[in-house]
A and B are shown apart, each in its own frame.
Chain A
């Protein structure tokens, strides 16, 4: 009765092949990442030190540290997120929770999806035209952050909407049945249950904002600028700044005779910055979840 038929045997080997294939693809995906990180660290090892982080570049960016670009990148990330996150999340809440299906919301949704696919250089030109020239902000951290915010906004809206719509409709109906308003429902049930998805979406945009060179090149980033070392308030909102991504581009392609470890060190710090921000977000998420008593 329990004898294996040919069909059963085929099924079993197909199962094995499928599983191995999936495993192989997973390994193929992880391997390059590990190699990249390992290689970067290996090449950057001689230069990595606290001084590297806290000193300005010197001798035409051929020596010294990366304090000015590191701080510049942090400014750009934080300010662009302060702009994009609230606007994006609130817009997504409106689109997902309040807006009725109409031609207008369909156009908005279409625009959001399409904007997410616009190349960053186009955002850069828009930022140059709109913020630097038209609004007269000038090339500055503010203009660059606004440009980055515009670039990340559509993806934040899309991912937030995704997180919100993953909360079952039945929860909302239960709340409405109990006499809760839409806002009470959103505040007490929808947001608490989608906050980790929302945060994940936002955090993914941090790495994009940190890594992009094009949008900030025209709007606020400069090749070189010395700032006070160790002072985290060294930049003002209307100053121009250095940025890690731009600095990496400069010392790898524009400046001759740069010691090899320098660009690798910069890359490691750029990677590290993104990882630290991600880690902070994970800690924040765990904290939020622990408050929810489940």
Chain B
């Protein structure tokens, strides 16, 4: 088995008095796709926010436990921006920054100090190609990113998340605002990225986790019910009855 990329142990997150995550311990291995499934309010998105420390922007959030990436505790790390560049993040609704397509993808490298035009051009082309969007937009890179269709915008946000060459790519329900055909295209993109990075895929669609993930974690009400290889989670005998019920649509 490949080495551990992320080690989460005894993670508990509170928003004010509300407990969002309770005592989660979870490892993510290098170059795997980890699916995270669970009903609404189960803490899936919070888990992603913990991994790139954007949870700290929520004023009421309190975090305990440790999260290590490559063996280093990320909450002890001074350079949080470096961490966020290591972790690409794609949000549920595509948020095209009100900038051109080019500037959207070049945003992160620029914020990290890249000014060389040629290098930026390269990054933009590489990322848009990786996100399967290049052919559709290469002639209009300087039009506004928010003018693209929903599916194109979501691929734009994926391209943007790839622009700082992350080692970990987190996707938070990327397909809720786009059509099935585009979803399949993006799933193909993810499969092709599989060999280069660790992917964490939070999804509402149980079948999506089944199609894409190597392992799947089931979260409910802030607790990790079960995490295992897909063959086990989606078999007739997962370790926990709740997992079976959820995966088979008996509740949720």
Contact = CB atoms under 8 A, between A and B. Distances in A.
Given A178-B111, A178-B164, A179-B84, A101 B59 contact: yes
A114 to B, nearest CB: 24
B59 A175 contact: no
Interface residues of A, number: 23
Contacts of A188: 107, 111
B interface: dominant SS: mixed
A173 interface: yes
A189 B93 CA distance: 18
B162 to A, nearest CB: 11
B70 interface: no
Contacts of B95: 168, 170-171, 173-174
Given A179-B111, A179-B112, A293-B142, A174 B91 contact: yes
Contacts of B93: 170
A283 interface: no
Interface residues of B, number: 28
A143 to B, nearest CB: 40
Nearest to A182: B57
Given A100-B59, A176-B54, A177-B54, A193 B107 contact: no
Contacts of A189: 97-99
A179 B100 contact: no
Interface of A: 100-101, 168, 170-181, 184, 188-189, 192-193, 292-294
19 contacts: A170-B91, A170-B95, A171-B97, A171-B98, A172-B57, A177-B88, A177-B161, A178-B160, A178-B161, A178-B163, A179-B84, A179-B112, A180-B81, A180-B111, A181-B81, A188-B111, A192-B98, A293-B142, A293-B144
Interface of B: 52, 54, 57, 59, 81-82, 84-85, 88-89, 91, 93, 95, 97-100, 107-108, 111-112, 142, 144, 157, 160-161, 163-164
